[in-house]
Amino acid sequence: MPRPAAGKQRKSAKILFVCVGLLGVALIADLLWASSTSSSSRSYKSAYDWPRPKASSDSFPVPVSSNHSAKVVTDKDKKDGVHGRLLSKTFADLPAPDLKWEKMAESPVPRLDGAAIQIHDQLFVFAGYGTIDLVHSHVDIYNFTSNKWGGRFDMPKEMAHSHLGMVTDGRYIYIVTGQYGPQCRGPTAHTFILDTKTKTWKNMPPLPLPRYAPATQLWRGRLHVMGGSKEDRYTPAVDHWSLAVKDGKVLDSEWKTELPIPRGGPHRACIVVDDRMYIVGGQEGDFMAKPNSPIFKCSRRNEVVYSDVYMLDDEMTWRVLPPMPKPDSHIEFAWAVVNNSIVIAGGTTDKHPETKKMILNYEIFRFQLDELKWSVIGKLPFRVKTTLVGFWDGWFYFTSGQRDRGPDDPTPKKVIGEMWRTKLSL
């Protein structure tokens, strides 16, 4: 009897829908990002310690894509099972070869959600949170030849402090939008051009609308800005705008509306290689300011992290390419192009399905552009998100971001300024 059966299915689907809705509401819990005042341990106490949503019990759906090396459940995990947790904390880690890491000079300041652009042997490192209540408004430079930091200079007062879009043509750095101020404050539409030779700044026409962490690249003589989160910091945007630029000059009077991206959201890697533009990973949703909070206090919302890869070429239609080995977000400046491969370090993946805690990645992913094939080529010394990457003279470098609590606990803790490198030949 097809009809009653269909009716029953609809009903259970409805109940499931209500449960998921309740879960969503229950997930809206405070992020206890109390910033430490001690300068020796500038860490976020991110005790993502919300009440366990009752509605979910053990039936919270595990994302289909999350068969990441189903880990053996240990005795310790079984004890945790008393409180309903059955899945290992580290269940999302993929098997990855160990690499030999060398610790380099530490950045003058720790930063989270900063930005970085490599030009020749220099890594320009911008902005970022020092603590949740303090944001940086300057640039530090790391020299890959001398392996030293130096050359600090200020950013314009109107420039955003985190979640920026940024790209270079080899001399000029084009900087768009981002979050202005600490905690979960609003975004600005301001845009800038930095001449890295003279260290001087210029304005560009403001973006049509402000965005958080949009995918940003130079492609075929135009600066492309795509997706990100909308003004509320949470709602994924799919808008795509471009502006003609050349040698630090803007050739258009206004931004042009382009083909929207297939899926919106912030924190993706966006890369142009061989005249093709790639958009990799990212998420939908993010922390938002708590309503009526005078300090725009951050409060966690539901997020969906994804592994999608899209590509734009001659045909001017977005093509779907093979997905990453696991969902990965917070990687906008965590990539380098090495020998016709995109190499991506760390990031965040889907939250733990039972504890709902945020989970960081330690994998180094490789995407071979000739074969369109993904692999995991190594392991970072710890899991880290929004880390800033460079590649020079056979060395793969990363600095900054927020790292995990230790090998057995992939949830985020300390904001770092450490710089590490490993030999990489592909």
Ligand X SMILES: *[C@@H]1O[C@H](CO)[C@@H](O)[C@H](O)[C@H]1NC(C)=O
Residues that bind ligand X (CB under 6 A): 67, 69-70, 121-122, 143, 145-146, 338-339, 394, 425-426
CA-to-CA distance for 155 and 177, rounded, in angstroms? 13
Closer to ligand X by Cβ: residue 52 or 199: 199
Q: Pick between residue 244 and residue 337 the one whose CB is nearest to ligand X.
A: 337
Contacts of 29 (CB under 8 A, 6+ apart): 48, 50, 51, 299, 300
Contacts of 37 (CB under 8 A, 6+ apart): none
- Least distance (Å) from ligand X to the CB of residue 151? 7
> Which H helix or E strand runs over 11?
helix 2-27
Minimum Å gap between C-beta 332 and ligand X is: 23
- Amino acid (1-letter code) at residue 139: V
Q: Which is nearer to ligand X, 74 or 339 (CB)?
A: 339
The half-sphere exposure of 96 on its side-chain side, counting CA atoms within 13 A, is 27
Choose between 123 and 226: whose C-beta lies nearer to ligand X. 123
What does the alpha-carbon distance between residue 157 and residue 173 come to, in Å, rounded to a whole number?
Answer: 17
**Nearest approach, Cβ of 379 to ligand X (angstroms)?**
16
Helix then strand count (H, E) for the chain reads 2, 35
Residues with Cβ within 8 Å of residue 62, at least 6 apart in sequence: 353
Nearer to ligand X, 41 or 67 (CB): 67
Least distance between ligand X and beta carbon 91 (Å) = 11
The count of other CB atoms within 10 Å of the CB of residue 420 is 20
How far is it, in rounded angstroms, from Cα 349 to Cα 352?
9
Amino acid identity, residue 272? Answer: V
**Is the C-alpha dihedral spanning 98, 104, 109, 115 positive or negative?**
negative
What is the rounded distance in angstroms from the CA atom of residue 216 to the CA atom of residue 271? 8
Phi, psi of 8 (to 5 degrees): -60, -45
Min dist. Cβ of residue 117 to ligand X (A): 14
Q: 216 or 349, CB closer to ligand X?
A: 349
Which one, 254 or 371, has the nearer CB to ligand X? 371
Least spacing, CB of residue 289 vs ligand X, in Å: 39
What's the min distance (Å) between Cβ of 306 and ligand X? Answer: 18
- What amino acid is encoded at 328 in this protein? D
In the sheet with 359-368, reading across from the earlier edge strand, the strands are 335-338, 341-349, 359-368, 373-379
83 or 373: whose CB is closer to ligand X?
A: 373
Nearer to ligand X, 50 or 101 (CB): 101
Minimum CB separation of residue 69 from ligand X in Å reads 4
Strand pairing partners for 181? none
Q: Identify the three-state secondary structure at position 369.
A: coil
Closer residue to ligand X in complex, CB, 296/392: 392
CB of 95 to ligand X, least distance (A): 7
Of 335, 329, 346, whose CA–CA distance to 381 is shortest? 346
The minimum distance between CB 284 and ligand X, in angstroms, equals 24
Cα 229 to Cα 213: distance, rounded to the nearest angstrom: 7
